[in-house]
């Protein structure tokens, strides 16, 4: 009896003590299922029924030690890829080492750039082609990349582009040509054999680099001709590179750029001819200094020489001039057909500066030509030897203005107005 009584007292004391602790501490949560048992600290919850530790793989990691993943925006063996597709290659879990994109030729003479160049972004994770693609051509895209551990991987993708009819392609021609020396007023002149509707898309692919650098702007003279000139005349000695990455670029109306092209040329010394029709003389300035004054005879009544800022467009040692080319019958009293020396064209419509020995008695006295600016043979030769294609000829003294686009009239408007001719 005594033993049992003591056991009961102890049980009651323990029970009361437990109740006291429970009242002053945290109440344990209610049981919610199989995981509600009290587990020792640090123990893990059991897995779901039937699960094994090996079945529960961690998610795929982006750790740099993983293999590099190479991709492109064109699939291997793709056929009929649009020519205006700009190819891109990317690297995931690593960086790009080299990317090449080229075709083996299509038999067309305009395919003079089989390899398409491109640029890498700063992180070296994306390569973007610098132009579109040739039509009906098979291309090979080779991408090489590596992860942080230096483990390389290469992917090769081959695809074929869609054929485009020649009538749906426009060819760009750049003037001046490689290696030419030009005057300080020479604009870059780009012409297209098929009209361009989306001028902005094309202009974005045009670039002019000059050394030393000089501010400039594009100006669209028509759907088939765009020029570039600096804000002021080019500095003598400037090196100029004109690049047109137009191959495969969408020109609008279903037309695409047929080729990409680049030309590099240089600027000679400054030779500026100032023709005063009233004074009947031309003053030539070389590198900013007056070098020579030449008596001239320009257009007479009915054939008035145009005033305006012109540029020498071509130089011809000898050329035949016939009145019928400007609408005057050779058999009329004003008709002519003769060879002339040292001819420098300054308008598309047919104005030249040239030697005119038959008009020697009128030089400096009377304007007696059919619109050209004539001078003595020795004077014409002197100027011919010094002026370049692109040298400015500024004519004043008549009320007949040079029509916009009648020659390279880029300097006949203000800089502000010229910039308005840009499509961007």
> What are the structural domains of the chain?
69-161 (2.60.40.3780), 167-268 (2.60.40.3710), 271-415 (2.40.440.10)
pLDDT, position 25: 37
CA angle 133, 136, 139 (to 5 degrees): 55
Q: How far does CA 62 lie from the centroid of its chain?
A: 37
Mark the ranges of the chain whose per-residue pLDDT is less than 50. Answer: 1-63, 107-112
pLDDT, position 186: 98
- DSSP state, 83? T
pLDDT, position 43: 43
pLDDT, position 375: 98
Task: Judge contact between 339 and 322, C-beta under 8 A.
Answer: no
Pairing of strands 95-103, 138-146: antiparallel
Task: Judge contact between 89 and 99, C-beta under 8 A.
Answer: yes
Q: Which secondary structure element, helix H or strand E, spans residue 119, and what is its range?
A: strand 118-120
pLDDT, position 328: 81
From 147, 145, 132, select the one nearest 74 (Cα to Cα): 132
User: Residue 226 burial (CB < 10 Å; 0-12/13-18/19+)?
Assistant: buried
pLDDT, position 23: 37
pLDDT, position 297: 98
pLDDT, position 64: 52
pLDDT, position 65: 58
pLDDT, position 106: 55
Which of 180, 227, 354, 370 is catalytic? The answer is 354
Strand partners of residue 189: 175, 227
pLDDT, position 151: 93
pLDDT, position 331: 79
Distant-in-sequence, close-in-space partners of 253: CB < 8 Å, separation ≥ 6: 195, 197
- DSSP state, 25? S
The Cα–Cα gap between 369 and 147 comes to: 76
pLDDT, position 29: 44
Task: Judge contact between 148 and 110, C-beta under 8 A.
Answer: no
Structure token pair of residue 248: 């495969």
pLDDT, position 265: 98
pLDDT, position 114: 72
The Cα–Cα gap between 258 and 106 comes to: 13
Write down the pTM of the prediction. Answer: 0.77
pLDDT, position 352: 98
Q: Is 372 a catalytic residue?
A: yes
Q: Is 103 a catalytic residue?
A: no
From 158, 214, 223, 237, select the one nearest 192 (Cα to Cα): 223
Summarised one tens digit per residue, pLDDT across range 215-262 is 999 999 999 999 999 999 999 999 999 999 999 999 999 999 998 899
Distant-in-sequence, close-in-space partners of 139: CB < 8 Å, separation ≥ 6: 87, 101, 102, 103, 116, 133, 158, 159, 160, 161
| Residue found by looking up tokens 């040692």 in the block | 317
pLDDT, position 346: 98
Q: Supply the DSSP string of 296-342, one letter for each residue.
A: -B-B-TTSPPPBEEEE--EEEEEEEEEGGGGT--TTSTT--EEEEEE
Q: Where are the alpha helices (DSSP H) in 87-175?
A: none
- CB count in 10 Å sphere of residue 172: 23
pLDDT, position 322: 81
Three-state DSSP state, 189: strand
Across the beta sheet with 261-267, what order do the strands follow?
181-182, 261-267, 239-244, 206-211
Strand partners of residue 146: 95, 152
Please write down the long-range contacts of 200-203, taking CB distance under 8 Å and 24 or more positions apart. Answer: 200/423, 200/424, 201/249, 201/250, 201/251, 201/252, 202/226, 202/246, 202/249, 202/251, 202/257, 202/423, 203/422, 203/423, 203/424
The Cα–Cα gap between 359 and 382 comes to: 18
Which of 103, 180, 227, 372 is catalytic? The answer is 372
From 230, 227, 221, 179, select the one nearest 206 (Cα to Cα): 227
């Amino acid at each position: 009896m005594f033993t049992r009584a003591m056991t009961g007292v102890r049980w009651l004391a323990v029970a009361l003590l437990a109740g006291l602790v429970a009242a002053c501490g945290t109440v344990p949560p209610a049981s919610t299922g199989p995981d509600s048992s009290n587990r020792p600290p640090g123990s893990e919850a059991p897995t779901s029924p039937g699960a094994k530790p090996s079945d529960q793989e961690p998610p795929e990691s982006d750790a740099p030690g993983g293999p590099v993943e190479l991709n492109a925006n064109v699939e291997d063996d793709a056929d009929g890829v649009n020519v205006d597709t700009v190819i891109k290659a990317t690297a995931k879990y690593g960086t790009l080492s080299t990317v090449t994109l080229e075709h083996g030729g299509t038999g067309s003479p305009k395919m003079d750039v089989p390899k398409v160049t491109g640029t890498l972004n700063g992180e070296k994770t994306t390569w973007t082609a610098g132009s579109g693609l040739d039509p009906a051509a098979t291309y090979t895209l080779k991408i090489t990349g590596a992860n942080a551990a230096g483990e390389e991987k290469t992917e090769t993708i081959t695809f074929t582009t869609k054929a485009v009819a020649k009538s749906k392609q426009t060819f760009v021609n750049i003037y001046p040509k490689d290696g030419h020396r030009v005057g300080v007023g020479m604009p870059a002149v780009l012409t297209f054999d098929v009209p361009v509707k989306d001028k902005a898309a094309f202009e974005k692919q045009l670039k002019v680099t000059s050394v030393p650098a000089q501010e400039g702007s594009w100006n669209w003279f028509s759907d088939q001709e765009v020029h570039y000139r600096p804000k002021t005349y080019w500095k003598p000695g400037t090196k100029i590179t004109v690049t047109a990455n137009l191959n495969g670029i969408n020109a609008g109306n279903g037309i695409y750029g047929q080729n990409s092209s680049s030309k590099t040329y240089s600027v000679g010394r400054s030779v500026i001819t100032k023709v005063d029709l009233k004074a009947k003389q031309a003053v030539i300035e070389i590198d900013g200094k007056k070098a020579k004054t030449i008596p001239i005879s320009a257009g007479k009544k009915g054939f008035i020489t145009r005033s305006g800022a012109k540029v020498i467009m071509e130089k011809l040692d000898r050329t035949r001039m016939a009145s019928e080319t400007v609408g005057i019958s050779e058999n009329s009293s004003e008709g002519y057909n003769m060879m002339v020396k040292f001819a420098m064209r300054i308008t598309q419509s047919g104005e030249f500066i040239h030697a005119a020995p038959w008009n020697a008695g009128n030089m400096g006295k009377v304007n007696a030509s059919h619109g050209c600016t004539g001078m003595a043979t020795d004077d014409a030769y002197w100027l011919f030897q010094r002026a370049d294609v692109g040298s400015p000829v500024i004519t004043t003294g008549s009320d007949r203005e040079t029509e916009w686009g009648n020659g390279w009239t880029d300097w006949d408007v203000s800089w502000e107005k010229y910039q308005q001719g840009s499509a961007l």
